[in-house]
Amino acid sequence: MSIVLYWHPMSSASPVASALAELGVPHERVKVDIRTGEQRRPEFLALNPNGKVPTLTVDGAPMFETLAIQLWLGERYGVERGLWPAADAPERLSAMSWCAWAYVTYGAVISRLHVAAHGDESRRDAAQAQAAIDDLSALLAVLDGHLAARAWVLGPAYSLADLVVGSVIGYTAFLGAPVAAHPHVQAWLSRVQARPAMQGDI
């Protein structure tokens, strides 16, 4: 199987690069310079009409959206490596739920914070930014409560779900989300980020 990751360092493609490293999946990596607009070239748009990274091709067939790629990697490689629950395991339901929570429920508030605090100056709004931070804190409290009873998202063992959720939470800490105010989340995130697959030029 030929796998190619179209990627740019320190971007939304980084969690996919980390997952490939964590799973030990052989692949080719092609850098797309998003600073110079390479993602808008016709040949790249033919793979990903959104003009964004990450894009993954599997035997030439393209896939885009970070969460979709992560879930596919979990199903295709993670089960056999003990890093993703089998299809009939109850933990699979939890893994799917928390990964979707990170990218959809939590992710929607990230978008609000980015626009209000870090986006175009004409759209910045301090009150809206604080409201988004407050909403992120409430969601982090949900995750904190979950992690109070277990070491990792799915229980006693690290899994790809930790990488997926941790990548999102770590990014929001950079944006100003009050991660440090939630001790179980902070301790868990430190363990996730200490994984070798999370290090280096990803």
Cα separation, 183 vs 84, in Å, equals: 26
DSSP letter for 63, please: E
Asked if 167 and 161 touch (Cβ cutoff 8 Å), the reply is no
Q: Are strands 61-64 and 3-7 parallel, antiparallel or unpaired?
A: unpaired
Buried b (16+ CB within 10 A) or exposed e, 166-199: bbbbbbbbeeebbbeebebbbebbeebbeeebbe
> Where does the pLDDT of residue 201 fall: very low under 50, low under 70, confident under 90, or very high at 90 and above?
confident
State the distance between the two ends of the chain, measured CA to CA, in whole angstroms.
Answer: 23
Across 95-103, average pLDDT: 98
In the numeric block, the tokens 């978008």 are attached to 111
Residue ranges of domains in the chain: 3-78, 90-198
CATH 3.40.720.10 for domain 3-78, yes or no, is no
Asked if 42 and 70 touch (Cβ cutoff 8 Å), the reply is no
Per-residue pLDDT tens digits for 16-66: 999 999 999 999 999 999 999 999 999 999 999 999 999 999 999 999 999
Cα separation, 166 vs 150, in Å, equals: 15
Q: Is the pLDDT of residue 178 over 90?
A: yes
pTM (two decimals): 0.95
Of the ranges 36-40, 72-76, 120-124, 155-159, which one carries the lowest mean pLDDT score? Answer: 120-124
Q: Which of 1.10.760.10, 2.120.10.30, 2.40.50.1020, 1.20.1050.10 would CATH assign to domain 90-198?
A: 1.20.1050.10
Amino acid at 158: Y
> Where does the pLDDT of residue 202 fall: very low under 50, low under 70, confident under 90, or very high at 90 and above?
confident
